[in-house]
Structure 1
Amino acid sequence: MAYSLVRFLLTPSVLLLCLYVIWGEQIFIDNEWHESCSGRKMPVHNPATGDLLCEVEEADTEDVDKAVQSARAAFQLGSPWRCMDASDRGLLLNRLADLVERDRLRLATLEALDSGKIFLMAYFVDLMATVKTLRYYGGWADKIQGKTIPVDGEYFTYTRHEPIGVCGQIIPVGKLIQKAAGDSNLKRVTLELGGKNPNIVFADCDLEYAVEQAHSGLFFNQGQCCLAGSRVFVEDSIYEEFVCRSAEKARNKVLGNPLVPGVDQGPQIDQKQFDKILELIESGKKEGATLECGGGPWDRNSLFIQPTVFSNVTDDMRIAKEEIFGPVQQIMRFRSVNEVIQRANATHYGLAAGVFTNDIDKALTVSSALQAGMVWVNCYNAMSTQCPFGGFKMSGNGRELGEYALQEYTEVKAVTIKVSQKNS
């Protein structure tokens, strides 16, 4: 949720074209709630119980067109939005942050009901990140500046960073968006397409801390996280101890209703994802990985999956190559720095990576060699609003968050003016 909010800074009219808003069951267009043009509704179920929560209006092409038309109107010359001072736009973002902060309890509860996310994670991580992101970009609103350029000849040249216009966002199916953009008119897209992220643990690290960080780096949000450190490479001399401690932590996880205090793993998001995860777990068993714990459903009547840890995983196994997006940790053995760098990079993905070592030279060498958009040293999932988020290779293109994200939503315009320098 927080990653998307940068677009409100330069194209706040997108606020008018949000097709789904978790605070209501209708479609929000042009500052009003509407029923869908088709009249179709989409059922929303609680993944922890299977109960129907509500039905929301299902937007179609006609609804999207109306939303885009409304948003484009905000960019017309003389429109209230276009005439608004940049500092006032920043105030609006901060006002939205105030409202999110005010309704933080309600929003976290809705998130837990809708997705199965642990309530405390939604409250202290997701909603906190949303508020921080809004305030961060609210501060940028009147600080987006161009440059003056000393060009040859009697000219004065400067640059303006202007908003690209109406933006839309679809959270999943990034590859389909990329293809559609290429097939039509080469629209600019920012894509985050997932990862199979390596987490490298050297023998000279703080072992207990590395175990804890590797555990949380994988099992956060039931493993349904693009940043999940799902390929844990552990140096040979500490491998057995690391596996033993990791399995113990996984066995001690408490599963249940994400709204109940003390529960630290909720259900998977839906039946399709649940089935995919179990199928990949079965592939790990068949291909010879050692199942240390878990390995199946927690309850036959729900979408919970036991926290699962595999050891003796090899690079050619499906669980080592495919993004599982579930509570399944794969622990692999390595013996040298060069070996683990080569193996860590042997993937189509390149979103994130982790390195655990007390040797600063080793940390710098490995982090510079890893083909990933984000590398964490002696930590994992250390996200911040100020830091760019994005990946290399098939993990997508473009960046969200930080100053770098502003480049994704602006066009640079060069203005050159003929200047006479003759004496009058």
Structure 2
Amino acid sequence: MERTSGDWQDAATAITFSGQSVIDGKSVDGLSGKTFASKSPIDGRHLPDVALCDAGDVDRAVASGRRAFEAGVWSGTTPADRKRVMRCLADLIRTQRDEVALLETLDMGKPIGDSTSIDVRAVANCFDYYGAAIDKIYDEIAPTARNAIALVTREPLGVVAAVVPWNFSMLMATWKVAPALAAGNSVVLKPAEQSSLTAIRLVELALGAGVPPGVFNVVTGTGPDVGRAPGLHMDVDGIFFTCSTPVGRIFMEYSARSNLKKIGLELGGKSANIILSSYRDTAHAARTSAHSAFFNQGEMCTCPSRLIVERTIHHEVVETLLEVARDYAPGDPLDPSTSMGALVDHRHTKRGMDFIRTAERDGATIRTGGRQVREDTGGCYVEPVVLTDVTNDMTIAREEVFGPVLSVIAVDDMDKAVRVANDTPFGLASAVWTDDLTTAHKVSAGIRAGLVYVNCYDCDDLTVPFGGFKQSGIGRERSLHALDRYTELKTTWIALG
């Protein structure tokens, strides 16, 4: 039986939390003994204080990971053994679905319906996928002359660090942790300070599933301290980061300044979503575009925030967008009927409101939304915004808002649409809506982005790679290609006779 709003409110009152880091299989405070306050963006309620760790704590976690790696308690096990443990972890996550989902919603404000049906499900499936895959990845024998055998083997990096954002805190962590663990690495996870609770719980569940102590650690704290430390650490073999492009550049510098550790970056986006007049069901395209833009409060790197529309259908598209936007009135995230929750914190809420005001000053027109609402709750809520009269040189069309803001840009034809789509430093996701097969191929080939959706948006599957072009990052997550990030290829040449 599905829980009601009252059930979730009662569960939120009764739930117990841990704000401690987990290092070498033990829940620990930071070496300094300091903590930082954690408040829910739903209503400002106080969540548990979280350990404010520093570089010394990162040293502890890395040393623990290195000991476990060298001892072979995980790296030396068979793929079949790792598969068993990881699939057990997936089952534990499913068993604890409601608790884990509630932590995610309380911590970052997303609707509980999304946390249960999307986030937790996707996290469990990801551990299942890489657990099931790892004993099906074969090494190679190169086609050398008969007087030699050349083995090409895939080996784990060693100790890897993952630094993840707050918008999908569980899922973004799992996209890194699952393939890293499957490949035999030890992992040090640094969650965003805005949403640390599910990362802590994830490590606890991993230990319960049989991941040995030291193999999976979580260190909480701020980016300048706990994020920076593994980037510069000489005993970290790879660092994998998801968040903004400016911080991604800093992590590249950390790699260069330390041991040239392997690096993976999944960075920002300003995704272009093109609706052409050759797509007959204009209303369907507009509805899907609005749902995709406002999902997760717009706090997504793939958010299709630039809606590029042929001028002949502009009015029809905008009218449908306005209808959908009004259905996304922010509500209580603990109510299963809520479709839009709270932004992650007051600082981010102010940033979003500043973007909206800047867009107005630049000449954009607010057609609906744009107000901060439910302020009496103490939470962080902004109405979804539809902007028209937007040009691609405006700040609102250039910078990542990470909120429920949809900008409509009118163009004259397909060629202009592609030029506008590519006129950005980012290249993560994109889409084109057309019923003409030739146009679909031409536009999707012309867009410089890692993901191109045709007549849909935000379709998702673990079997396909995720990542961007240009300043949207380096490397790919999801699919079997993700294992390339967490492994090295070794050639062993054996002379015969």
- When normalised by structure 1's length, the TM-score is 0.91
Partner of 1:94: 87
The answer to whether the aligner puts 1:180 opposite 2:174 as a matched pair is: no
CA distance in 1, matches of 2:408, 2:475: 30
Cα contact 1:307–1:328 (8 A) shared by 2: yes
The 5 Å alignment of 1:244-283 reads 244-283=319-358
Cα contact 1:254–1:262 (8 A) shared by 2: no
Deviations 1:137-164 (A, max 9, x none): 0012212222111224722111000001
1:88 maps to a residue whose letter is D
Q: Matched residue pairs, number?
A: 398
Partner of 2:19: 25
CA distance in 2, matches of 1:32, 1:261: 35
Partner of 1:68: 62
TM-superposed deviation, 1:405: 0.3
Among candidates 422, 442, 453, match of residue 345 of structure 1: 422
Distance change >3 Å, CA 291–CA 413, structure 1 → 2: same
Partner of 2:267: 193
Among candidates 385, 402, 405, match of residue 479 of structure 2: 402
The 5 Å alignment of 1:265-344 reads 265-301=340-376, 302-344=379-421
CA distance in 2, matches of 1:304, 1:210: 27
Q: How big is the alpha-carbon RMSD for the aligned residues of Structure 1 and Structure 2?
A: 1.4
CA distance in 2, matches of 1:333, 1:247: 16
CA distance in 1, matches of 2:336, 2:123: 23
The answer to whether the aligner puts 1:126 opposite 2:203 as a matched pair is: no
TM-superposed deviation, 1:238: 0.7
SS, match of residue 98 in structure 1: helix
Among candidates 95, 109, 116, match of residue 109 of structure 2: 116
Partner of 1:11: none
Q: Which runs of 5+ in 1 are unaligned?
A: 1-21
The answer to whether the aligner puts 1:235 opposite 2:307 as a matched pair is: no
Distance change >3 Å, CA 23–CA 403, structure 1 → 2: farther
SS, match of residue 261 in structure 1: coil
SS, match of residue 112 in structure 1: helix
SS, match of residue 81 in structure 1: coil
Partner of 1:159: 152
CA distance in 1, matches of 2:75, 2:127: 20
Cα contact 1:201–1:355 (8 A) shared by 2: yes
Among candidates 96, 108, 113, match of residue 103 of structure 1: 96
Deviations 1:108-131 (A, max 9, x none): 111111100011111111111111
Q: Percent identity?
A: 36
Cα contact 1:175–1:193 (8 A) shared by 2: no
Q: Which runs of 5+ in 2 are unaligned?
A: 1-15, 165-242
TM-superposed deviation, 1:376: 0.9
TM-superposed deviation, 1:300: 3.7
Deviations 1:236-255 (A, max 9, x none): 11101101110121123232
Among candidates 14, 39, 44, match of residue 33 of structure 2: 39
SS, match of residue 89 in structure 1: helix
2:139 maps to a residue whose letter is G
**Larger mean Cα displacement after TM superposition, 144-153 or 410-419:** 144-153
Partner of 1:218: 293
Deviations 1:5-63 (A, max 9, x none): xxxxxxxxxxxxxxxxx962111111111111111112111102111111111221111
Partner of 1:49: 43
Cα contact 1:193–1:395 (8 A) shared by 2: yes
Partner of 2:458: 381
